[in-house]
Homo-oligomer: A and B are copies of this chain.
């Protein structure tokens, strides 16, 4: 009898002054949820929040999603640019035990194929206890490019940090787990 894979919990955190104030609808967080629905074939559920670009609030929300809601993975969108109000990478670094610079490098590398302004993106990734936190850019078009590029490494990263087991739909994502 095949052992049942436990449910994975994923936090999706849209960070935007205007979306959180209702000036426009958050499309970025919703785009992430839609992509995850394609990518992940094992059972999962999400916590979805839209908050303003306030560093303390971002940190507090990341901590709550990781420690209280026990998310294996948190994906943020927004607040990674060079503008004064863009503070998502700083808030992420503040709550993480260790950083994974390779995520930001690869996302910028991939985005550079589309726009030269990709070098302005400051997104990063890191680990808080048993939670992987990944910053995605704010624009829906870039979200797919970036998430597609990095997601093949996500399930193995969750294995390594003792988070939940994710299975992917090979039609969309070839999750890679090196043989021991």
The chain A residues found within 8 Å of chain B, CB to CB, are 81-84, 86-87, 89-90, 98-106, 108-109, 112, 115-122, 127, 132, 139, 150, 152-153, 156-157, 160-162, 174, 176, 178
Contacts and interface: CB of A to CB of B under 8 A. Distances in A.
A48 B76 CA distance: 41
B152 A116 contact: yes
A100 B84 contact: no
Given A83-B161, A161-B82, A162-B84, A102 B116 contact: no
Contacts of A120: 100, 102, 153, 156-157, 160
B90 A119 contact: no
Given A108-B105, A112-B106, A162-B84, A156 B117 contact: yes
A178 B117 contact: yes
A159 to B, nearest CB: 9
B102 A119 contact: yes
A160 B81 contact: yes
14 contacts: A82-B157, A82-B161, A83-B160, A84-B161, A89-B98, A90-B98, A100-B122, A102-B120, A103-B119, A105-B105, A109-B109, A117-B157, A119-B150, A120-B157
A82 B153 CA distance: 12
A82 B121 contact: no
Contact of A119 (B100, B174, B178): B100
Contacts of A157: 82, 117, 120
Contacts of A119: 100, 102-103, 105-106, 150, 153
A116 B153 contact: yes
A117 to B, nearest CB: 5
A102 B81 contact: no
